[in-house]
Amino acid sequence: MGVATASAVVHDLDFELELVERHRCGDAQAFDEVYTRFAEMVYNLAFRLSGNCEEASDLMQEVFLRIYRHLGSFGGRSSLKTWIFRIAINHCRDRLSRWRPLTQPIGEDVEEGEVSYADPRRGPEELAVAADEGRRVTAGLARLPQTFREAVLLRDIEGLSYEEIAEVLGVRIGTVRSRIARGRDQLRALLET
């Protein structure tokens, strides 16, 4: 890690701890800032894990309620991002296991999800190909076993390092390594069929 990156991390942590302190003191804007920074990330995760926009919205509200309640206990041992991911993953696992049996494949309505692939810089044909590719990948992801789906999501879509993923999932780095590799392998096989 270079000096600039290390100092950015320290700065981020200081900023995050300041946000937490402001939240503890009742500053409502502090939580708004947390929401603005992490809403898209949490919603994306909830959507990819549930495969359904409506469930993702419900999960998102519950996750942020939980974050609101427990933000004061954030001690800065990890980054706020990994702390929030951990809460979100734990909550999604909990809720989804109640909503549907774990063996039931998810994402049946992924194809109909209101996912926007719009990018004004692309032409109509390119957009259609991208949207089709996006739908195929999303549907493939939804068919992966949950542990592999979580690892691939955190790595390839959210861009977390192996160390951060280990923190979020509460497993060793070796387990993360194996889950990502096996998840990618299974996803490739699913997309080829």
Site for other proteins in 127-146 (CB under 8 A): 130, 133-134, 137-138, 141
- Residue identified by tokens 């999960």 is 59
Kindly state the tokens that stand for 131.
């949207």
Q: Considering all CA atoms of the chain, what is the largest pairwise distance in Å, rounded to the nearest integer?
A: 55
Kindly state the tokens that stand for 44.
């994306």
85-103 exposure pattern, b = at least 16 Cβ within 10 A, e = fewer? bebbbebbeebbeeeeeee
Per-residue DSSP letter, 120: T
The piece of 8-16, 100-108, 142-150, 167-175 that touches other proteins (CB under 8 A) is: 167-175
From the list 60, 80, 96, 154, which residue makes contact with other proteins (rule: CB under 8 A)? 60
Tell me whether residue 14 or residue 132 sits nearer to other proteins (CB atom): 132
From the list 14, 15, 61, 145, which residue makes contact with other proteins (rule: CB under 8 A)? 61
Residue 15 as a binder of other proteins (CB under 8 A): the answer is no
Rounded CA-CA distance 88/64 in Å is 9
The piece of 1-9, 12-20, 99-107, 168-176 that touches other proteins (CB under 8 A) is: 168-176
Subset of 62-121 contacting other proteins (CB under 8 A): 62, 64-66, 68-73, 75, 77-78, 86-87, 89-91, 93-94, 97-98, 113-119
